[in-house]
């Protein structure tokens, strides 16, 4: 696999920053941030390259990381802390749209790496309030031509100051009709690629090397939406078995993931199941996960992370409220604990 993180420290860069401290107040802060980034990336890379390391285990819970104490009982029952904590954030000018420094620090204290699914809704910018821009379509061309650069640049600068590596899943599922940045809303694949590259460039220009960009479409990988290898660090996807919620069809993990995984391999990037869930209706939920873990270890070795979508009330399927949670199912907890002991998951 292509290595995605450098193993060397550019010493000249660091020395120059120290020499410039009298002239730039933030030079020392940026230097320390840079060192933390390099150390963090080396550690993450070591985990990716080691065959014995296992898969990084993550979770999304709506109350996390606002209240990490709610994870304690689950982690105690597993005898393991989650490696990745996932949460979602919209674009805008509200306080909750700014870089979530407090949540990031709490995640860091917890010993985990954050994954932010960064959703470019445009309704919360003042200039769009009266016109209703963004209600039904996020015009990606406006992002690509720089109309939201002030917001993106400020967010990137705060990411630099935070300084630790984290996953950024920008404009996920760009081929999902439910999202206003999708092609169904009138955006062309080129519009998505241009917007992605523009955002990526801003982060690069600001020195946000700690940001790990996750390109995460829905289903098999659509080449026309791929920004290019130099703009993407990881490939992400979702794996959901809706069971009785979706026309009464129960699909195995292998049935869903096989075509996605095979299409993702060609990009030669680490692969992440950024959302995984199995319906409790229509079949044996515990056995579904057991079969998934078994085949993961045998057939899908480039899968480097799995993030449980532990949402008790998912409304995305019209007319249904789906409970994807695993923490109230003792059989699944037992299964996970066994897989952790057997070494499937990263310690």
Q: Please tell me whether residues 94 and 173 are part of one structural domain.
A: yes
Do 135 and 215 lie in a common domain?
A: yes
Judge if 267 and 143 occupy the same domain.
Answer: yes
Q: Which two tokens stand for residue 222?
A: 């659509």
Is 234 in a helix, a strand, or coil? strand
Place of tokens 């949540």: 103
**Could you tell me if residue 29 is inside a domain?**
yes
Instruction: Give SS3 for 158.
Output: helix
Does 8 share its domain with 79? no
On whether residue 347 sits in a domain, the answer given is no
- Evaluate whether residue 335 is within a structural domain: yes
Residue 44: the pLDDT is 62
Give the CA angle between residues 19, 37, 143 to the nearest 5°. Answer: 100
Determine the pLDDT at residue 47.
Answer: 52
- What would the two tokens of residue 208 be? 């946000």
Domain boundary among 15, 36, 53: 53
Q: What is the pTM of this model?
A: 0.86
DSSP string, 76-144: HHHTS--SEEEEEEE-SSSGGGS--HHHHHHHHHTT-EEEEEEE---TTSHHHHTTTTTSS---HHHHH
Q: What is the pLDDT of residue 331?
A: 97
* Average pLDDT along the chain, 347 residues, taken 10 residues at a time: 41 40 43 49 55 85 86 94 96 97 94 97 91 87 98 98 97 96 96 98 97 97 98 98 86 98 98 97 96 94 97 87 94 96 88
**Strands 303-309 and 271-278, sheet pairing:** parallel
How far apart, in whole angstroms, are the C-alpha atoms of residue 85 and residue 231?
A: 23
**Which range of residues forms the domain containing residue 26?**
1-53
- The residues, ordered by sequence, that sit 6+ positions from 238 with a Cβ below 8 Å of its Cβ are 173, 216, 218, 273, 274, 275, 276, 309
Cα(81)–Cα(328) distance, rounded to whole angstroms?
17
Tally of structural domains, the chain: 2
User: Is 167 domain-assigned?
Assistant: yes
- Phi first, then psi: what are they for 79, rounded to 5°? 60, 40
């Amino acid at each position: 696999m292509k290595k995605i993180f450098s193993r060397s420290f550019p010493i000249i860069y660091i020395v120059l920053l120290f020499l410039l401290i009298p002239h730039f107040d933030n030079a020392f802060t940026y230097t320390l941030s840079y060192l933390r980034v390099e150390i963090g990336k080396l550690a993450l890379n070591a985990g990716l390259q080691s065959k014995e390391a296992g898969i990084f285990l993550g979770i999304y819970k709506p109350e996390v990381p606002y209240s990490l104490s709610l994870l304690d009982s689950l982690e105690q029952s597993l005898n393991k802390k989650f490696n990745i904590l996932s949460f979602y954030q919209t674009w805008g000018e509200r306080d909750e749209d700014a870089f979530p420094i407090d949540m990031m620090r709490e995640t860091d204290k917890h010993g985990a790496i954050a994954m932010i699914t960064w959703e470019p809704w445009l309704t919360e910018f003042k200039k769009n309030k009266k016109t209703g821009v963004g209600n039904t379509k996020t015009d990606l061309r406006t992002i690509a031509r720089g109309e939201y650069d002030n917001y993106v640049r400020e967010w990137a600068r705060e990411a630099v100051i935070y300084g630790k590596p984290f996953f950024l899943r920008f404009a996920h599922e760009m081929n999902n009709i439910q999202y206003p940045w999708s092609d169904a809303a009138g955006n062309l694949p080129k519009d998505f690629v241009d917007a992605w590259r523009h955002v990526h460039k801003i982060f690069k220009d600001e020195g946000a090397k700690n940001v790990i960009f996750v390109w995460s479409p829905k289903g098999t990988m659509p080449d026309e939406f791929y920004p290019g290898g130099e703009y993407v660090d990881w490939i992400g996807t979702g794996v959901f078995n809706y069971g009785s919620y979706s026309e009464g069809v129960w699909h195995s993990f292998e049935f869903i993931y096989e075509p996605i995984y095979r299409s993702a391999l060609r990009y030669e990037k680490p692969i992440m199941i950024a959302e995984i869930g199995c319906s409790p209706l229509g079949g044996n939920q515990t056995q579904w996960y057991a079969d998934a873990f078994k085949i993961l270890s045998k057939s899908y070795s480039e899968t480097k992370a799995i993030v449980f979508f532990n949402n008790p009330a998912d409304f995305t399927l019209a007319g249904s409220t789906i409970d994807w949670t695993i923490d109230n199912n003792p059989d699944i907890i037992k299964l996970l604990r066994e897989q952790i002991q057997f070494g499937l998951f990263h310690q």
